[in-house]
Structure 1
């Protein structure tokens, strides 16, 4: 099977690429610039092009069976009008151009798996959210809603569109743990704000497993919550991470006003959250390799 991936060199994309190659697939990664020192990987090739701009790269889409869209500038930066525009455009324009390429292709690909996020639901306290829950109204919710709408344009041409709504991804090579673990190893870990905000998370192996599962389920389309079945509060995350690392976590919680002063509007991601249930995955019989936080962190940090 031939895969075309945007964002394939990132934290999550590199893990997925390795999983697709391991199952015998070949992967084309779209990148703005092919690095001279890029290591050659069996089953992987690079195509140069800017996904936010229409161009010759779109013609290559038709040579693949599945398109996987994971591109987007990180949201973990201080938000300004300009940075929000970059975050928004990197997702909306990329997805719009992919949908255009898919709709003008005469043959395959017939499947688009596009990324979104649980931020789609907005901040809803302790309400349990599944794929049928409505979108929120804050910046991230509007971003996710518009992002998904661009992907669904491809369905007009008969393409199966799956929307993977990511929770916080825990992995060995970066992401949230890359920021948290060094502080906790020094005994400086603590909760954030009230500590009662919900964290919907996923182990990187399960995220790759979900993609592979979806590839074998042509009957599944639309939104899929890519989160573990056991969300936790920020305080539970703090305590579990400290336990797994065998480090104390006795410091008082970081006050909300400190985070807002340091990070601005972006602090809302850390101070609020979503309690998300992966209902579609459970209904379709996906078996999580790491369904609980303690098991996931022990696996990653052993």
Structure 2
């Protein structure tokens, strides 16, 4: 049985780990990238902004996992940066959809990333997949358009699952790295009010979620990719300090200070998102790291 997976955005934090786990599970993996020769996997070239893609890419795949998109946490959100954040997601997804609409392929499922940013700041209200997207919110707007582009694949009759990803925990990148650095320097403190909710997921659980959705035909539609135990920012910081055996020394890092340093991007850490994992649990997914402390200990054990 052919088990070939094509990953867009495969050189990023999630794609790198996902490719390793797919290989371990007996899949063949190829990456779609602008510079395919730099990877140890088979590569196909594409340039989403130019609308160019190797014609052999989609016909190679039994499954496509779409992770392409420039990082929301690299640099301040200037107007140019915002355009890049949006277009890097839209252009790639639309290009894949256009290519698949031509037919002549054997893709059985399309798994696409989105983010819990679609809900905006929800204070302590629990949100689920039925909660309407936030209005007047940059990330929510990006996610809506991104999901819209993925839905066009579903309209072509391909089984499509969209994952709204929470804060991905990994010591290799993402939000955890700067947070852990600050705590290790003995300067750890809750951010903003500290009461805002953080809906997180361990990188390995996220990858296992993608693999299960790829393998089981009942996965279709939109899912929150978050652990079942969201925590407040204060709890998160406190648990991280415990795991790193460091004291929490500072009072809260004030909101205006974060806004000064990060600009609009501060909403990534200041927005409160208490996101339900019920739908993935009902699908039968079992988290290896449902609770925060063991998730963090898996990275910093004996550190």
Band of TM-score, shorter chain: over 0.9
Partner of 1:213: 212
**Would you say the 8 A contact 1:58–1:98 is kept in 2?**
no
- Aligned pairs for 1:128-147 (under 5 A) are 128-137=126-135, 138-147=137-146
Q: Distance in 2 between matches of 1:57 and 1:123?
A: 40
**Counterparts of 1:149 and 1:172, CA distance in 2:** 32
Following superposition, the deviation at residue 50 of structure 1 comes to: 1.4
Deviations 1:6-38 (A, max 9, x none): 111111110000011111111110111235xx4
Query: In structure 2, how many angstroms separate the alpha carbons of the residues matched to 1:11 and 1:247?
Result: 26
Gap regions ≥5 residues in structure 1: none
TM-score for the superposition, normalised by structure 2: 0.95
Q: Identify if the C-alpha distance between structure 1 residues 107 and 33 changes in structure 2 by more than 3 Å, giving closer, same or farther.
A: closer
Partner of 2:49: 52
Deviation at 1:261, TM superposition (A): 1.2
CA separation of 1:166/1:58 partners in 2, compared to 1, >3 Å: closer, same or farther? farther
CA change 1:151–1:39 in 2 (3 A) is closer
Q: Equivalent residue for 1:240? A: 239
RMSD between aligned residues: 1.3
User: Residues of 2 paired with 1:101 and 1:110: CA distance?
Assistant: 14
- 1:268 maps to 267
TM-score, scaled to structure 1: 0.95
Shift of 1:212: 1.5
Pair 1:109 & 2:111 matched:
no
Distance 2:104 2:193 in 1: 53
Are 2:51 and 2:91, in contact at CA under 8 Å, matched by a contact in 1?
Answer: no
Secondary structure (helix, strand or coil) at the match of 2:239 reads helix
Asked whether 1:32 is paired with 2:16, we answer no
**2:67 aligned with 1:70:** yes
2:191 equivalent in structure 1: 192
- Specify the alignment match of 1:95 in structure 2: 93
Question: Which of 58, 62, 68 is the equivalent residue of 1:61?
Answer: 58
Q: 1:125 aligns with which of 123, 126, 132?
A: 123
1:105 Cα deviation from its structure 2 partner: 2.2
TM-aligned CA deviation for residue 59 of structure 1: 4.2
CA distance in 2, matches of 1:56, 1:180: 38
SS of residue matched to 2:64: strand
